[in-house]
Amino acid sequence: MHYALLNRRNISALTMETLTQVLHQVEEVNSVKLHFKELPQRELRISAVGQCTAEGWVPPKLKLRTYDFPPIDGTYDFDFIAQAPKALTPGLVEAVIAVYKWSNYPENLRGIRIHGSENSLLKMIQL
Protein backbone atom coordinates (compact mmCIF):
# COMPACT_ATOMS: atom_id res chain seq x y z
CA MET A 1 0.00 0.00 0.00
CA HIS A 2 1.36 3.42 -0.90
CA TYR A 3 0.70 6.29 1.44
CA ALA A 4 1.92 9.78 2.06
CA LEU A 5 3.40 10.19 5.50
CA LEU A 6 2.77 13.66 6.87
CA ASN A 7 3.33 15.33 10.19
CA ARG A 8 2.23 18.57 11.80
CA ARG A 9 5.04 20.60 10.22
CA ASN A 10 4.05 19.94 6.60
CA ILE A 11 0.25 19.86 6.81
CA SER A 12 -0.37 23.61 6.50
CA ALA A 13 0.19 23.67 2.73
CA LEU A 14 -2.53 21.09 2.07
CA THR A 15 -6.23 21.63 1.49
CA MET A 16 -8.63 19.85 3.84
CA GLU A 17 -9.78 17.59 0.98
CA THR A 18 -6.23 16.45 0.30
CA LEU A 19 -5.51 16.03 4.00
CA THR A 20 -8.37 13.59 4.53
CA GLN A 21 -7.10 11.33 1.73
CA VAL A 22 -3.66 10.64 3.19
CA LEU A 23 -2.31 8.81 6.20
CA HIS A 24 -0.04 10.64 8.57
CA GLN A 25 1.48 10.17 11.98
CA VAL A 26 -0.68 10.57 15.04
CA GLU A 27 0.50 13.43 17.20
CA GLU A 28 1.77 11.65 20.30
CA VAL A 29 2.66 8.09 21.31
CA ASN A 30 1.69 7.49 24.96
CA SER A 31 2.47 3.80 25.54
CA VAL A 32 3.78 0.66 23.85
CA LYS A 33 3.22 -2.95 24.96
CA LEU A 34 4.76 -6.12 23.57
CA HIS A 35 3.25 -9.58 23.93
CA PHE A 36 5.05 -12.68 22.66
CA LYS A 37 3.30 -15.89 21.66
CA GLU A 38 5.25 -19.04 20.76
CA LEU A 39 2.53 -21.56 19.85
CA PRO A 40 1.17 -22.56 17.41
CA GLN A 41 3.31 -20.01 15.53
CA ARG A 42 5.87 -17.52 16.80
CA GLU A 43 4.21 -14.09 16.91
CA LEU A 44 4.77 -10.67 18.48
CA ARG A 45 1.75 -8.50 19.21
CA ILE A 46 2.64 -4.79 19.40
CA SER A 47 0.03 -2.48 20.95
CA ALA A 48 0.39 1.29 20.94
CA VAL A 49 -1.78 4.00 22.46
CA GLY A 50 -1.51 7.54 21.20
CA GLN A 51 -3.45 10.77 21.00
CA CYS A 52 -4.65 13.14 18.30
CA THR A 53 -5.98 16.67 18.67
CA ALA A 54 -9.29 15.93 16.93
CA GLU A 55 -11.87 13.15 16.88
CA GLY A 56 -12.37 10.65 14.07
CA TRP A 57 -8.87 9.49 13.08
CA VAL A 58 -9.34 6.16 11.24
CA PRO A 59 -8.05 3.51 10.99
CA PRO A 60 -5.07 3.88 13.31
CA LYS A 61 -2.31 1.42 12.45
CA LEU A 62 1.35 0.64 12.94
CA LYS A 63 3.42 0.60 9.75
CA LEU A 64 6.80 -1.15 9.86
CA ARG A 65 9.48 0.96 8.22
CA THR A 66 11.25 -0.63 5.25
CA TYR A 67 14.89 -1.58 5.67
CA ASP A 68 17.47 -2.51 3.04
CA PHE A 69 19.38 -4.33 5.77
CA PRO A 70 18.24 -5.40 9.24
CA PRO A 71 19.06 -2.79 11.91
CA ILE A 72 22.43 -3.56 13.51
CA ASP A 73 21.12 -2.81 17.01
CA GLY A 74 17.99 -4.95 16.49
CA THR A 75 15.62 -2.01 17.05
CA TYR A 76 12.82 -1.90 14.46
CA ASP A 77 10.88 1.32 13.79
CA PHE A 78 7.14 1.70 13.20
CA ASP A 79 5.11 4.77 12.22
CA PHE A 80 1.85 5.24 14.14
CA ILE A 81 -0.43 6.47 11.34
CA ALA A 82 -4.10 7.21 10.64
CA GLN A 83 -6.33 9.11 8.24
CA ALA A 84 -7.34 12.57 9.48
CA PRO A 85 -11.02 13.36 10.05
CA LYS A 86 -12.85 15.53 7.53
CA ALA A 87 -13.45 18.23 10.13
CA LEU A 88 -10.79 19.14 12.65
CA THR A 89 -12.13 20.25 16.02
CA PRO A 90 -9.58 22.34 17.91
CA GLY A 91 -9.30 21.63 21.61
CA LEU A 92 -10.50 18.03 21.47
CA VAL A 93 -8.13 15.17 22.22
CA GLU A 94 -8.86 11.61 21.09
CA ALA A 95 -7.06 8.46 22.22
CA VAL A 96 -6.19 6.05 19.40
CA ILE A 97 -5.06 2.43 19.66
CA ALA A 98 -3.27 0.34 17.05
CA VAL A 99 -2.16 -3.29 17.09
CA TYR A 100 0.38 -4.96 14.80
CA LYS A 101 0.74 -8.75 14.72
CA TRP A 102 4.21 -9.74 13.54
CA SER A 103 4.53 -13.42 12.63
CA ASN A 104 8.02 -14.86 12.45
CA TYR A 105 9.69 -11.64 13.58
CA PRO A 106 13.48 -11.44 13.03
CA GLU A 107 15.84 -13.32 15.33
CA ASN A 108 17.89 -10.15 15.91
CA LEU A 109 14.87 -8.23 17.32
CA ARG A 110 15.91 -6.35 20.49
CA GLY A 111 13.48 -3.43 20.57
CA ILE A 112 10.51 -1.64 18.98
CA ARG A 113 10.37 2.14 18.44
CA ILE A 114 6.99 3.73 17.65
CA HIS A 115 7.02 7.19 16.01
CA GLY A 116 4.37 9.90 16.27
CA SER A 117 4.74 13.40 14.83
CA GLU A 118 5.74 14.90 18.20
CA ASN A 119 7.59 12.03 19.89
CA SER A 120 8.63 8.39 19.76
CA LEU A 121 8.70 5.62 22.36
CA LEU A 122 11.20 2.78 22.55
CA LYS A 123 10.31 -0.54 24.16
CA MET A 124 13.26 -2.88 24.64
CA ILE A 125 12.80 -6.64 24.82
CA GLN A 126 13.77 -8.24 28.11
CA LEU A 127 16.01 -11.20 27.29
Cβ-based neighbours of 110, under 8 Å, separated by 6 or more: 73, 74, 75, 124, 125, 127
Q: How far apart are CA 74 and CA 56, in angstroms?
A: 34
Going by C-alpha positions, the residue among 13, 1, 14, 12 that lies closest to residue 81 is: 1
- Strand pairing class (75-83; 111-115): parallel
Residue 20: per-residue pLDDT:
47
- Going by the DSSP 8-state scheme, the letter that residue 10 receives in this structure is G
Instruction: Check whether 13 has a pLDDT greater than 80.
Output: no
Residue 59: per-residue pLDDT:
92
Instruction: Report the predicted TM-score, pTM, of the whole model to 2 decimal places.
Output: 0.81
Phi, psi of 89 (to 5 degrees): -115, 100
Could you tell me the pLDDT band of residue 21, with boundaries at 50, 70 and 90?
A: low
